[in-house]
Amino acid sequence: MYTFSYYKTVLIAFLILAHVNLIGQQHPNLTLTQTGVEQIRKNLGNVPFFDSHLAEVKAEVDAEMLTGIHVPIPKDMAGGYTHDRHKRNFSMLQKAGALYQILQEEKYALYVKEVLMEYARIYNGLPIHPQPRSYARGKIFWQCLNDANWLLYVSQAYDCIYTFLSKKERNHLEDDLFRPFADFISIENPQYFNRIHNHSTWGSAAVGMIGLVMQDEELIQRALYGLKKDGIDKNAKDNDGGFIKKANEKAGFLANIDAPFSPEGYYTEAPYYQRYAMYPYLLFAVGLNNMRPQEKIFDYNNGVLLKAVNTLLNLTDTDGEFYPLNDAQKGMSYFSRELVSSVDIAYHYGDKNPGLLSIANAQGKITLDDAGFAVAMAIEEGKAIPFSKKSMEITDGPDGKQGGITILRAGQVENELNLVAKYSAQGNSHGHYDKLSFSLYHRGEEVLQDYGLARFVNIDQKNGGGYLKENKTWAKQTIAHNTLVVNETSHFKGKYELGSQFHSTKYVSDLSSNGHQLISAKENNAYEGVKMHRTLVMVEDERFENPLILDVFKVKATDKNKYDLPYHYFGQLMSTNFDVKSLESLAPFGKKHGYQHLWLTAKGTATGKIDQLSWFSNNTFHTLSMASEPGDTYLFTKLGANDPEFNLRDDPSFVIRRANTASTLFVNAIETHGSYSPVTEMAENTRSKIKGISILMETEDYSVISINLAEGASIKLYFANNNKNKNQSHSILLDGVEQQWTGPYFIQTN
């Protein structure tokens, strides 16, 4: 009598044979491979992290299948029924395909097949989507981008049931659904497909993935290298105001790796969109790696795709939320599904960094494929160690020469301070006009915020979930950021064409973390006749509960200007040491460049000495200490003016205004201190430790500032301002005392 095990072996052998198609290509072989499936099946029941996620997905798909098949004629915007339904479909199909492979239960293959047949039945007859909002309208969704999402997910489902289908069925699906679908989002929409943009990455990955499954070399080439002809007008723009394509610019998947990624894998649009784009980048890369290893895709551009995952993970605050640079919805984090797959792929196809396992563990999810299984297995084997985020300098631009982003970190995780300094390129159409801006985080909470975008993604009531006009009129403007505004006008006058031509430049940095960290950058193009140079220092000094932030902003100008330096704080104002007059009626702060959205609520007058402002948020105190000049005014604002549809948040801001001034130096210090508990009602360390700030020297070559604590106690920053002197030995005389140092800066503590 044959044993059960014998039958099982025969069955598996049969299945393996059956999965090799006629031209020799195995299926599945995109994200799930045959070897992977064998490994997974062999270990079912032994890897709890995998098993529990498998059970979850099975329960979800089983429940969905009970509701039947729903392929409605597309009509709604994001947030509407048909949109959500088709979105749900592609996700369910992908999962059902994986379940079929892993559980070998035919019902899942049958479900995938039936849904696909329904799409095949209607696809060719579908008109363009009725909602006319996109520069590239889809057929299933209002924009091609979502159609590409669909195809990228569904390719995986198709790969999983490929051998389950008859040749005739495959021909039907390929002829009536997949190839016309791929053509529609590429040949028929070159303005969508053939450009350098996250949209196009989705497009090329989708076309490439279905091409790989279909073994359609033409589609694969189109995906990798773009359309040879596209007829795109070089002045055409997309809905975000970005240019579609520069003349003679390359397109396709590989060009989309070349252009937006810096050598460290920073994606020029910033983390929110990088997160979104990582999915197609990595998925298609995995498909290529498995089906066309000769492309060596993970080695492409020095392995930038996997470096990008590490960079992206470092662009998160203590809680794993992405810094909302440029257009970014707050709250998006490495718990998103795109980062689940990114982390799994980076682990499995990368250098098996065990720190990634702790993030996978925190995510509590894995992908049901080779990469996810490898992660679950490694966690089961106890290989996870904490993912350590350190201070990090990230360049921007394909050659890494277009400025960048620096993150300074200090303190233990439970009390961590992060400073994010931005001196990058424009960031394509999702860029904001905020050269030399920064934001500050404490314990994963915002202390000085970057507003992010003005949009409620997928919330139908708010412009169908799309960008709101306030994104342009407020969120992108300079005044919406913690950086200098000259004459109430945004950097580059808020003009994309102009801003796209320039980037800021790093001057000097030091992330050594031995008591202080520093990032200093210059911007010479944001305003004609105004050169800006900002230096941010994170000083760890035991006299301060948390590291002290020094913010030294040097302005060199030929003419007299009005300077506004905003700090976008949160929470309740506690005290000021200068006079504040609250206004009896409120008017907008200005007329344009974002000023029209701020209510001016109060005005303060500088004392000409040290001025201080304390506020309280997240049960912590914060104090801004300013080396003021007589004549400086302080302006308190609240967001929300000229906002007829209540699209903006009502956040407060504080603006230092120095008018009628040419060259000048702003020196400010930010303390994060103390705590309050509404349960014990104990308030600790509620006061600033700073007694004075003085500018001891300010010349073309040097800036010397002193933060004065108690009598005889101070922190002094000696700074060389120019490239021509920064690496030399310096000797300067201050109050008859000579101070010597070598290199760009020196911090002296007394």
Residue 474 vs 502, nearer CB to a second copy: 474
Residue 2 vs 646, nearer CB to a second copy: 646
Contacts of 287 (CB under 8 A, 6+ apart): 30, 31, 155, 208, 209, 212
**Considering the complex, what minimum distance in angstroms separates the CB of residue 52 from a second copy?**
19
Considering only residues 695-724, where is the footprint of a second copy by CB under 8 A? none
Residue 135 makes contact with a second copy by CB under 8 A: no
Residue 611 vs 698, nearer CB to a second copy: 611
Of 412, 514, 660, 680, the one binding a second copy by CB under 8 A: 680
Residue 466 makes contact with a second copy by CB under 8 A: no
Considering only residues 295-334, where is the footprint of a second copy by CB under 8 A? 329-333
Secondary structure (DSSP) of 169-233: HHHHHIIIIIHHHHHHHTTT-HHHHSSSSHHHHHHHHHHHHHHHHHT-HHHHHHHHH--S-----
Binding mask 627-666 for a second copy (x = CB under 8 A): -----------x-x-xxx-x--xx-x--------------
Residue 79 makes contact with a second copy by CB under 8 A: yes
CA 19 to chain centre: 39
CA distance 101 to 391: 43
Residue 614 makes contact with a second copy by CB under 8 A: yes
What are the distances in angstroms from CA 608 to CA 401, 612, 688, 705? 40, 12, 19, 15
Residue 686 makes contact with a second copy by CB under 8 A: yes
Q: Which amino acid is at 60?
A: E
Residue 335 vs 746, nearer CB to a second copy: 335
Active site residue 442: no
* Segment interacting with a second copy, rule: CB under 8 A, options 19-27, 203-211, 299-307, 599-607: 599-607
β-strand 610-617 against 664-673: which pairing, if any?
A: unpaired
Of 20, 103, 122, 580, the one binding a second copy by CB under 8 A: 580
CA distance 326 to 431: 5
**Considering the complex, what minimum distance in angstroms separates the CB of residue 620 from a second copy?**
12
Please give the biggest Cα pair distance in the chain: 103
Size of site (CB under 8 A) for a second copy: 53
Residue 60 makes contact with a second copy by CB under 8 A: no
**Considering the complex, what minimum distance in angstroms separates the CB of residue 336 from a second copy?**
5
β-strand 737-742 against 664-673: which pairing, if any?
A: unpaired
Contacts of 542 (CB under 8 A, 6+ apart): none
Binding mask 545-574 for a second copy (x = CB under 8 A): ---------------------------xxx
* Segment interacting with a second copy, rule: CB under 8 A, options 247-255, 434-442, 627-635, 677-685: 677-685
**Considering the complex, what minimum distance in angstroms separates the CB of residue 588 from a second copy?**
8
DSSP letter, residue 727: T
Residue 675 makes contact with a second copy by CB under 8 A: no
CA distance 139 to 185: 9
Q: Which of 273, 281, 451, 569 is catalytic?
A: 273
β-strand 664-673 against 714-720: which pairing, if any?
A: unpaired
CA 156 to chain centre: 26
Tell me the three-class secondary structure of 107-126, residue by residue: HHHHHHHHHHHHHHHHHCCC
Q: Are 148 and 140 in contact (CB under 8 A)?
A: no
Report phi then psi at 698, rounded to 5: -145, 105
Residue 739 makes contact with a second copy by CB under 8 A: no
Binding site for a second copy (CB under 8 A): 79, 84, 329-333, 335-337, 456-462, 465, 572-575, 580-582, 584-588, 599, 601-602, 614, 616, 638, 640, 642-644, 646, 649-650, 652, 676, 678-683, 686-687
Which positions are annotated as active-site residues?
Answer: 273, 430
